[in-house]
């Protein structure tokens, strides 16, 4: 079988706790499906590293990470130690940009065995395609009269034609392959009067190239409401960086917990390594308790295998997640899924299932 070079970055908080579960399932998949994961772990992109070195990453992090086939990433940030914008702009957000991971792909699915907060959720199974390198996450702006009553702070949203078109194209291409072939665009062109109407105009123009895809758009406010009121309506949802960020916590919450949600930060051209991580963060409120849900981390590993081309192994990993969660065993499910299990227990059960189901 093939060998894949994987950079492992656990990061902070529960990133450290869920990473071993992700690796256990990946190892089980590798040995069953006959490929090798050549794993190198890094301690950078963490508050511990920052305390020691004064930066989140070594100066040559691009050259260090570039040769890897993929990056497997836990979570970063601990606002009690360092401000989030310093730690995140010094790590994860740099990687997304430098490695041109312009697609943030986030599946959202109601999994049997995981209790939804909705009384009657129906079937929920959709994709969020989030723009990941520009938009509201910009470094354009500044402050004047700082520290005075006349203080002004400005931060610009940046949309480029290349940036908008490439994320829309990815979303249309994905929507073309699904059963329902429906693409929803998240906008806010009533209130945000330059960038959002531009986004809409590129969306409508591209729709002409995809006659087989049904399209619709909603302003982000009512779209959020629809995510809760009729989540089964959605198939593929595309949004700007900030819209996609918000929707990708809301969607998984409606399916029970953000603890199961995975994400792929993808450079589709394969020019740079892609990065796979759970949607959730470092969860300082539960860190050290051993109760973090490891499914988001494991499922992110599943997305990584698919990206690497190990289709059968990826399918087995998804079966393993579905099988173990589907048992609805309160002794195994973690507290965010209304169980009294632990990270370790659930992680072990899924790794075992990866080897067998
Ligand atoms: P968070 O996702 O870390 O936590 C939000 C809530 O969800 C918390 O109550 C937490 O306990 C719960 N939760 C999250 N993951 C869980 C899991 N696997 N199992 C059970 N419960 C889980 O978001 P936050 O509190 O806004 O952020 C905490 C820190 O993480 C901040 O520093 C933030 O910037 C950072 N963050 C990092 C990433 C990332 O690295 N990709 C993503 C989001 C937030
Ligand atoms: C995510 C996170 C990050 C984001 C933060 C930690 C910068 O919330 O991956 O969803 O906003 O992209
Ligand atoms: Mn987020």
- Centre of ligand 2 to C-alpha 83, Å, is 14
Segments forming the whole domain that contains residue 201: 116-255
Mutate to test the pocket of ligand 1, among 275, 281, 294 (most ligand atoms within 8 A of CB): 281
Name the residue among 265, 258, 231 with its Cα closest to residue 126.
Answer: 231
The total number of structural domains that make up the chain: 2
- Centre of ligand 2 to C-alpha 3, Å, is 30
Pairwise CA distance, residues 220 & 145, whole Å: 33
**Which ligand 2 atom lies nearest to the CA of residue 277?**
9
- Identify the pLDDT of residue 85: 96
Q: pLDDT of 217-265, one tens digit each? A: 999 999 999 999 999 999 999 999 999 999 999 999 999 999 999 999 9
Residues 134 and 221 in one domain: yes
**Using CA positions, which residue lies closest to atom 5 of ligand 1?**
283
Name the residue among 303, 255, 307, 249 with its Cα closest to residue 281.
Answer: 249
264 lies in a domain? no
318 in contact with ligand 2, CB cutoff 6 A: no
Both tokens assigned to 210: 């995809």
**Which ligand 1 atom lies nearest to the CA of residue 79?**
32
88 in contact with ligand 2, CB cutoff 6 A: yes
* Neighbour tally for 153: CB within 10 Å: 10
Q: Are 273 and 71 in contact (CB under 8 A)?
A: yes
- Look at the block and give the residue holding tokens 């059963």: 179
Helices 295-308, 343-356: crossing angle, 10 deg rounding = 30
* Neighbour tally for 125: CB within 10 Å: 18
68 lies in a domain? yes
Q: Are 280 and 261 in contact (CB under 8 A)?
A: yes
Pairwise CA distance, residues 183 & 235, whole Å: 7
**Which ligand 2 atom lies nearest to the CA of residue 263?**
9
Reported ipTM exceeds the 0.90 cut: yes
Q: Are 25 and 301 in contact (CB under 8 A)?
A: yes
Residues 236 and 171 in one domain: yes
Residues 124 and 194 in one domain: yes
**CATH classification at residue 92:** 3.40.718.10
22 lies in a domain? yes
**Which ligand 2 atom lies nearest to the CA of residue 249?**
10
104 in contact with ligand 1, CB cutoff 6 A: no
**Using CA positions, which residue lies closest to atom 12 of ligand 2?**
245
- Identify the pLDDT of residue 44: 98
Q: How many CA atoms lie within 13 A of 181 on its CB side?
A: 8
Q: Are 29 and 313 in contact (CB under 8 A)?
A: yes
Both tokens assigned to 243: 């819209």
Q: Which residues of the chain have pLDDT under 70?
A: none
109 lies in a domain? no
Contacts of 332 (CB under 8 A, 6+ apart): 324, 339, 341, 345, 346, 349
277 in contact with ligand 1, CB cutoff 6 A: yes
245 in contact with ligand 2, CB cutoff 6 A: yes
Pairwise CA distance, residues 26 & 18, whole Å: 13
**Using CA positions, which residue lies closest to atom 12 of ligand 1?**
283
346 lies in a domain? yes
- Centre of ligand 2 to C-alpha 219, Å, is 21
Name the residue among 209, 98, 205, 100 with its Cα closest to residue 161.
Answer: 205
Q: Are 128 and 163 in contact (CB under 8 A)?
A: no
265 lies in a domain? no
**Using CA positions, which residue lies closest to atom 6 of ligand 2?**
88
**Residues linked to residue 265 through DSSP beta bridges, in sequence order:** 104, 275
223 in contact with ligand 2, CB cutoff 6 A: no
Task: Give residue 39's region: left, alpha or beta (phi > 0; psi -120 to 50).
Answer: beta
Residues 251 and 134 in one domain: yes
Residues 335 and 277 in one domain: yes
**Using CA positions, which residue lies closest to atom 25 of ligand 1?**
283
- Centre of ligand 3 to C-alpha 249, Å, is 6
- Identify the pLDDT of residue 297: 99
Q: Are 121 and 145 in contact (CB under 8 A)?
A: no
pTM: 0.98
Residues 210 and 278 in one domain: no
Residues 141 and 175 in one domain: yes
Residues 225 and 308 in one domain: no
Residues 237 and 205 in one domain: yes
Residues 141 and 229 in one domain: yes
Residues 172 and 250 in one domain: yes
Name the residue among 118, 104, 110 with its Cα closest to residue 234.
Answer: 110
The continuous run of DSSP H or E covering 86 comes out as helix 84-89
283 in contact with ligand 2, CB cutoff 6 A: no
């Amino acid at each position: 079988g093939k060998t894949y070079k994987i950079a492992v970055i656990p990061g902070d908080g529960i990133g450290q706790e869920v990473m071993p579960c992700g690796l256990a399932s990946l190892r089980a998949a590798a040995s069953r499906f006959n490929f090798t994961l050549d794993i190198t772990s890094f301690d950078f992109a963490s508050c511990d590293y920052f305390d020691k070195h004064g930066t989140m990453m070594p100066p040559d992090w691009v050259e260090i990470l570039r040769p890897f086939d993929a990056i497997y990433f836990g979570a970063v940030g601990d606002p009690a130690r360092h401000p989030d914008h310093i730690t995140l702009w010094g790590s994860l957000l740099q990687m997304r940009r430098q490695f041109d991971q312009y697609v943030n792909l986030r599946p959202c699915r109601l999994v049997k065995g995981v209790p939804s907060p909705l009384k009657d959720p129906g079937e929920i199974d959709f994709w969020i395609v989030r723009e990941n390198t520009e938009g509201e996450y910009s470094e354009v702006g500044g402050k004047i009269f700082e520290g005075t009553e006349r203080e002004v702070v400005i931060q610009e949203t940046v949309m480029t034609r290349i940036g908008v078109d490439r994320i829309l194209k990815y979303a249309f291409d994905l929507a073309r392959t699904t059963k329902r072939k429906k693409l929803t665009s998240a906008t806010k062109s009533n209130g945000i009067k330059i960038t959002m109407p531009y986004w809409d105009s590129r969306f409508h123009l591209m729709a002409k190239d995809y006659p087989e895809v049904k399209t619709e758009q909603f302003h982000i406010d009512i779209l959020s409401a629809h995510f809760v009121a009729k989540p089964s309506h959605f198939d593929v949802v595309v949004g700007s960086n900030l819209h996609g960020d918000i929707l990708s916590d809301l969607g998984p919450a409606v399916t029970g917990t953000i603890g199961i949600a995975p994400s792929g930060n993808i450079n589709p051209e394969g020019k740079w390594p892609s990065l796979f991580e759970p949607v959730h963060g470092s969860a300082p409120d539960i860190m050290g308790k051993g109760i973090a849900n490891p499914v988001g981390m494991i499922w992110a590993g599943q997305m990584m295998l698919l990206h690497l081309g190990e289709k059968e192994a990826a399918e087995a990993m998804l079966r393993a997640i579905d099988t173990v969660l589907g048992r609805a065993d309160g002794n195994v499910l973690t507290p965010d899924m209304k169980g009294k299990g632990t990270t370790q227990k659930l992680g072990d059960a899924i790794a075992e299932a990866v080897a067998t189901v």
